[in-house]
Structure 1
């Protein structure tokens, strides 16, 4: 059995396929899926394939944005923490933590009113990570040693 990596209540990671580096994500074991802040998005169909065109912040210090067209993985009705159902659009991409690359499914939502631009949900954490809620940025600290 592969040993699980330890993460804190928040972690800094990269989403290299999206051009996003050093993004702070809140680890949320109560959320099923991972969510990334998106200023705006729309879903289009081309040649029988669904795509999501989204405006993402790729540098959170300068607030530089980039518009990307990404292949839609799935659409799902999700109940928010407030009990409201909403349609979420998911993509598949990669996330880098501990200098390792992991597959991740991400939905998009405007999180501008939230403290962290990203949530890492339990579907990403499952069988890979253990969470120590008394720590933060364990993956970054491990690489600095």
Structure 2
């Protein structure tokens, strides 16, 4: 039997600032939600279009003008799926899901995010259990912005 390598867990706060390098978006406030399996990103203007060659694309605006890095550009995804996701109130909703890179603790993780209008929510990004497990994170609900503290600490990646 192969012994599993022990990797020390990192403490993550109930809120974190995250980056989406593929979209050139930095410093988005994210809520950690251990009740959600998949993460979620706020988006608007979702539309699926069918091109002349038969390809299907998903067009969305990620975030909105309330976020300082919002540029108003429509983003297109060719790799997406439509799934049934349970909302925070237990209601089943059909949502588009994409795979993208999220940066946390100066490390990049590829994970899935459902796309939904979160304008009535306080935080535009939700991080679920799937990423928490793969990243080896433990959630300390009494803390906030733990990844940022490591990022800007003396001897950290940025000054």
Normalised by the size of structure 2, how large is the TM-score? 0.83
Mapped to 1, the partners of 2:56 and 2:113 lie a distance apart of 15
Contact kept? 1:72, 1:89, Cα under 8 Å:
no
Compute the displacement of 1:58 (Å).
6.9
Instruction: Find runs of 4+ consecutive structure 1 residues off by over 3 angstroms.
Output: 45-50
1:15 correspondence with 2:20 = yes
Contact kept? 2:33, 2:129, Cα under 8 Å:
yes
Compute the displacement of 1:80 (Å).
1.3
Mapped to 2, the partners of 1:25 and 1:137 lie a distance apart of 10
User: 1:93-108 residue pairs with structure 2 within 5 A?
Assistant: 93-108=100-115
Structure 2 regions of 5+ residues with no counterpart?
1-5, 154-159
Residues paired across the two proteins, number? 145
1:139 correspondence with 2:147 = yes
Contact kept? 2:12, 2:138, Cα under 8 Å:
yes
Determine which structure has more spread, i.e. the larger CA radius of gyration. Answer: 2
Q: CA RMSD in A?
A: 1.8
Normalised by the size of structure 1, how large is the TM-score? 0.90
Mapped to 2, the partners of 1:56 and 1:114 lie a distance apart of 15
1:52 correspondence with 2:55 = no
Compute the displacement of 1:19 (Å).
2.2
CA distance 1:58–1:93, shift in 2 (3 Å) = farther
Larger strand proportion, structure 1 or 2? 1
